[in-house]
Amino acid sequence: MNGSTNNSGWLGDEPDVDEGSQPKLEQPEAGTAGTGTTDDKGKLPKSTVACQLPEEHGGKMMTCILPILMKIGDRICQMILVINIWFYSEIIITDVYMYMMIQEVIRGTKDVLSLAQGVVYWQPPKPALDKVKELVWEPSVSRYGADEGLPELREALVRKLRQENNLHKSSVMVTAGANQAFVNLVLTLCDAGDSVVMFAPYYFNAYMSFQMTGVTNILVGPGNPKTLHPDEDWLEKTLRETKPTPKLVTVVNPGNPSGTYIPLPLLKIAYPTEVAGFGAQLLKIQDNIPICAAIISQRLALYSLEVGPEWVTEQVKDLVKNRAIVLEALSPLGDDAVKGGEGAIYLWAKLPDKCVDDYEVIRWLATKHGVVVIPGSACGCPGHLRISFGGLLEDDCRVAAARLRKGLEELARDGMVH
């Protein structure tokens, strides 16, 4: 402890702690803090614990001191709980999490339409929702299930991958979404200080997953300026020359945020078909975070798969209309400025050269024109925008697109006039 706390009376018999008092936060100088058992009545312990993560590795420590009341037998005792939290300084210096930032941009702005979030506007199929409605009273949906997911859902997913995606050697673990799946992989495959590879424009949450877990040596490779596909030559050179060799290469297909589709031959660059102990490590992480994805969601996923692929194909037809509407709205930026949209629900657009600060542009579009999109800086590409065309029904999409077009026309002509 760094001695700044007045400890007198903390272990006295009669409680004199204000139960509502806030825990004190201290940030002692690195290397001076520790915890231990109490050696003197009424005094906090001297430093007894060796530092686990020395500062030369970027470690910093925060000490939380929490006054608590504890019932021992029929006596109430005052105690303090000292929690030393070591963290790598880089872990907390992550990029701003995008959806929080977007919420902040639109807070207080009335009538904003979103072309930001990467979602589709439809709900799961009605027959699947109806079945789930009947399930809520079933005890199993309020319990944990197998960490790796419901066996019948995993089987259905492996079947789907074989029949619809021509993937024949899949094994599946069910997670609470793709973001969690990605974090599971990073925690399994990487250690703090490793280097990894991504390509710009990259998916912002994946970048932050690396940062949060201490993988701060993120080598960002270029995309082909025409196609936005990963630059193979750069990758080969980087893997050959970087020592130690980067732990993993991240490629997102279909692309987010680019919306592009990388053809199969390019994807076959290299990946291991088997990694020893991989499944067991993944399970360990799963068991420590959600234990299992919510059972009710897994049952909903299973019932949705049972409806068959035609249902999704039908839904996607509407997205083709939305894409045409949004593409037209981006035309003030010029033909070459817009890419993607063939693989996923995103278009990727280059702003006029004079618009370097894309964060400012998205704030201006939200406040002046009532439409919100994602800034390219969040994906490693300042001066660009990601526009999602999946989240709105056609009529709303038309309104949002008209606002976007008006804003971009103004931007190209006069700049950001407030």
Q: How far is CA 334 from each of CA 341, 405, 409, 412, rounded to the nearest angstrom? A: 16, 12, 11, 10
**Nearer to ligand PLP (CB atom), residue 34 or residue 380:** 380
Cα(298)–Cα(152) distance, rounded to whole angstroms? 10
Q: How far is the CB of 182 from ligand PLP (least distance, A)?
A: 6
Among 47, 179, 238, 297, binds ligand PLP (CB under 6 A): 179
Rg (CA), the chain: 26
**Nearer to ligand PLP (CB atom), residue 63 or residue 175:** 175
Q: Closest CB to ligand PLP belongs to which residue?
A: 177
* Binding residues for ligand PLP restricted to 27-46, rule: CB under 6 A: none
Q: How far is the CB of 78 from ligand PLP (least distance, A)?
A: 43
**Nearer to ligand PLP (CB atom), residue 65 or residue 379:** 379
Q: Is there binding between residue 348 and ligand PLP (CB under 6 A)? A: no
Q: How far is the CB of 97 from ligand PLP (least distance, A)?
A: 12
Size of the residue set binding ligand PLP (CB under 6 A): 9
**Nearer to ligand PLP (CB atom), residue 198 or residue 411:** 198
Tokens of 177: 């979404």
Q: Please, which residues have CB within 8 angstroms of residue 140's CB and are 6 or more apart in sequence?
A: 295
Closest alpha carbon to 389 in 99, 112, 106, 116: 116
Tokens of 199: 């390509």
Q: Is there binding between residue 188 and ligand PLP (CB under 6 A)? A: no
Q: How far is the CB of 388 from ligand PLP (least distance, A)?
A: 9
Q: How many helices (H) and strands (E) does the chain have?
A: 13, 12
Q: Is there binding between residue 118 and ligand PLP (CB under 6 A)? A: yes
Q: Is there binding between residue 340 and ligand PLP (CB under 6 A)? A: no
* Binding residues for ligand PLP restricted to 244-303, rule: CB under 6 A: 252, 256
By CB atoms closer than 10 A (0-12, 13-18, 19+), residue 255 is: buried
Which of left, alpha, beta for 377 (phi over 0: left; psi -120 to 50: alpha)?
A: alpha
Q: How far is the CB of 221 from ligand PLP (least distance, A)?
A: 17
220 DSSP β-pair partners: 198
**Nearer to ligand PLP (CB atom), residue 1 or residue 319:** 319
**Nearer to ligand PLP (CB atom), residue 182 or residue 210:** 182
Question: Binding string to ligand PLP for residues 67 to 106, with x set by CB under 6 A, is what?
Answer: ----------------------------------------
Q: How far is the CB of 256 from ligand PLP (least distance, A)?
A: 3
> What is residue 79's three-state secondary structure?
strand
Q: Is there binding between residue 203 and ligand PLP (CB under 6 A)? A: yes
Cα(220)–Cα(202) distance, rounded to whole angstroms? 8
Three state DSSP letters for 6-64: CCCCCCCCCCCCCCCCCCEEECCCCCCCCCCCCCCCCCCCCCCCCCCCCHHHCEEEEEE
Q: Which residues bind ligand PLP (CB under 6 A)?
A: 118, 177-179, 182, 203, 205, 252, 256
